[in-house]
Amino acid sequence: MSADSWKVCSACRTPIGFGQTYTACSVSTCARGRNALFFCSVACWDVHLGSVRHRESWAVEVVAPSREEAARLERDEPAASAPSPSSPPLRAVGTATPTTTVNAPPVAHAPVALGVADQDEILIVVSKLKKYVRERSGMNTSDAVAKLLSDHVRSICDDAIRTAGADGRRTVLDRDVPRVRRP
């Protein structure tokens, strides 16, 4: 963010000025948190649809905050979750009916405790695992490997769940899963 602009377009990097109308995505994961996306036009919003898999989305016109409002929001982060009374209502571009947004606080969900039987359940398709190892190396695979790999998968899933929860989402996305380290 420079002194002359509030944000830059997430697609073409054009500056979006203070008090200027910009376009946002209606999908919550594109519009909140530190990963929020801002677009200078509907055409730039349309570009991002090629890289995401939204079931239903639309472009929303929004007015950027004034310089003073932006400074206040940066200073006072908790106030950022409350809608500003001076900001105009959001409207979907290309529709006749205005839309409203509800800023509900994120709900913390307690993890479900797994029973002993669930913790011992094999999450790996053993036949495919054995076939992969045999075709890759000509070696056989012990049945005990499936349990250890299932434990690894559970651990990776738990990390991904924590990451999604920290972002205030109820959906685990591919970006939440730690990347594979290949030699």
Residues 6+ apart with CB under 8 A from 165: 108, 109
Least confident window among 13-27, 29-43, 70-84, 131-145: 70-84
85-121, pLDDT tens digit by residue? Answer: 444 455 555 444 444 444 444 445 556 666 665 778 8
What mean pLDDT is predicted for residues 152-163?
89
Q: Which amino acid is at 3?
A: A
**Would you state the pLDDT for residue 81?**
47
Say what the pTM is. Answer: 0.41
Q: Which residues pair with 181 in a beta bridge?
A: none
The structure tokens 């809608």 sit at 83
Residue-by-residue DSSP string for the chain: --SS-SEE-TTT--EE-TT-EEEEESSHHHHSGGG---BSSHHHHHHHTTTS--SS--EEEEEPPPHHHHHHHHH-GGGGGSPPTTSPPPEETT-SS------PPPPP-PPPPPPHHHHT---S-HHHHHHHHHHHHS----THHHHHHHHHHHHHHHHHHHHHHHTT-SS--GGGSPPP---
Question: What's the token pair of residue 4?
Answer: 């002359």
What mean pLDDT is predicted for residues 132-136?
93
pLDDT at 143 over 80: yes
Parallel, antiparallel, or unpaired: how do β-strands 59-63 and 21-25 relate?
A: antiparallel
* CA dist., res. 109 & res. 170, Å (int): 9
What mean pLDDT is predicted for residues 69-97?
57
Mean pLDDT of the chain: 78
* CA dist., res. 138 & res. 126, Å (int): 16
**Would you state the pLDDT for residue 130?**
92
**Would you state the pLDDT for residue 78?**
52
Question: What's the token pair of residue 174?
Answer: 């591919």
Catalogue the long-range contacts made by 34-37 (C-beta closer than 8 Å, 24 or more residues apart).
35/167, 37/10
**Would you state the pLDDT for residue 142?**
92
**Would you state the pLDDT for residue 132?**
92
